[in-house]
């Protein structure tokens, strides 16, 4: 019979990349509250330490590992550090991602392509590979990739980001297919607009009036009529990290206030 304890992450070891702010931070807090030991990683140690302080305050055992996840050797270092400290990895959330600049498909250069792809796609692939080797040896694990609804419909002027997120959806399916027999479940979360530094940077170069106009315009197309909050992603991540999702693999949970439906609203 189903028991709510299947949602518990008690004593599970979880890595959350990009755990210093935004969606990753909300997932890290959620995991902490569900009982996990949480490793947070991103580039800036100071931001990680501030997040870790909050998590320690609610009784969570936290490990901070600063790393640049667009570099393969760094992804391996994160995994090695976690195994050294905790001896296992039960959950990996590939959340770190970036969209550092907007450019038309005619203006995008190789540098922007490499910066985005190295973190959003290559980093996700090789972080998953390194963690999955550990999970396979220990008898199972959970990998959760944070993709985006831009991976369904490309957003104008962020083509490389959108292509990287389409790729993340396929990384999910490729790993899910090959690793199902090893009891490793691999799934994606595809957020729509969520109020974070990344989201707000789209409007940072505009006047406050123009930024408000563009936000209002976006909300008009959102069936839920509002931009989401990072906390609204955490519940899905807890489900996909927990035993409640043991028969779920290669799946995606879209959390977008209905935006993917809104093409029909005009």
Pairing relationship of beta strands 62-64 and 91-94 according to DSSP bridges: unpaired
Q: Which is nearer to ligand NAP, 218 or 243 (CB)?
A: 218
Distance, CA of 218 to CA of 249 (rounded, Å): 32
Q: Using CB under 6 A, list all residues that contact ligand NAP.
A: 18, 20-24, 42-44, 47, 68-70, 95-98, 119, 146, 148, 191, 193-194, 196-199
Q: Min. distance of Cβ 73 from ligand NAP in angstroms?
A: 13
Look-up of token digits 């197309």: 221
Q: Which is nearer to ligand NAP, 142 or 169 (CB)?
A: 169
161 given a catalytic annotation: yes
Nearer to ligand NAP, 15 or 23 (CB): 23
* Residue of 29, 161, 239, 247 marked catalytic: 161
Mapping DSSP to helix (H, G, I), strand (E, B) and coil, where does residue 21 land?
coil
- What backbone torsions phi and psi does residue 171 show, to the nearest 5 degrees? -55, -45
β-bridge mates for residue 254, sequence order: 190
In the complex with ligand NAP, which residue's Cβ is closer, 47 or 54? Answer: 47
DSSP states of 161-228: HHHHHHHHHHHHHHHHHHHGGGTEEEEEEEE--B-SHHHHHTTTTS-HHHHHHHHHHHHHH-TTSS-B
Least distance (Å) from ligand NAP to the CB of residue 57? Answer: 19
Which residues are CB-contacts of 139 (< 8 A; sequence separation ≥ 6)? 183
CA proximity to 261, closest of 224, 217, 226, 236? 224
- Shortest spacing between CB 88 and ligand NAP, in angstroms: 22
44-74 burial, b at 16+ Cβ within 10 Å, e below that, comes to eeebbeebbeebeeeebebbbbbbebbebeb
CB-nearer residue toward ligand NAP: 182 or 239:
239
For the CB of residue 44, give the shortest distance to ligand NAP in the complex, in Å: 3
Give the residue numbers marked as catalytic. Answer: 161
């Amino acid at each position: 019979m189903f028991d709510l304890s299947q949602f518990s992450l008690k004593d599970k070891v979880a890595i959350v990349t990009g755990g210093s702010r935004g969606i990753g931070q909300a997932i890290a807090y959620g995991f902490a509250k569900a009982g996990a030991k949480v490793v947070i990683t991103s580039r800036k140690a100071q931001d990680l330490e501030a997040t870790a302080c909050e998590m320690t305050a609610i009784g969570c055992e936290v490990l901070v590992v600063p790393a640049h996840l667009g570099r393969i050797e760094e992804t391996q270092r994160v995994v090695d550090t976690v195994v050294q400290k905790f001896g296992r990895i039960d959950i990996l959330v590939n959340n770190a991602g970036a969209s550092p600049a907007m450019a038309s498909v005619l203006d995008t250069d190789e540098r922007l392509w490499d910066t985005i792809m190295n973190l959003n796609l290559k980093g996700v692939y090789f972080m998953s590979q390194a963690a999955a080797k550990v999970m396979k040896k220990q008898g199972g694990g959970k990998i959760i990739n944070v993709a985006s609804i831009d991976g369904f419909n490309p957003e104008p002027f962020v083509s490389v980001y959108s292509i990287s997120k389409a790729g993340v959806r396929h990384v999910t399916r490729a790993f899910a297919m090959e690793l199902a027999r090893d009891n490793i479940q691999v799934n994606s979360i595809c957020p729509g607009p969520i109020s974070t530094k990344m989201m707000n940077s789209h409007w940072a170069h505009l006047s406050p009036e123009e930024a408000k106009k563009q936000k209002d315009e976006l909300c008009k197309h959102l069936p839920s009529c509002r931009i989401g909050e990072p906390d609204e992603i955490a519940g899905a991540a807890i489900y996909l990290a927990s035993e409640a999702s043991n028969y779920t693999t290669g799946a995606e949970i879209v959390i977008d206030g209905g935006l993917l439906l809104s093409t029909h609203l005009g």
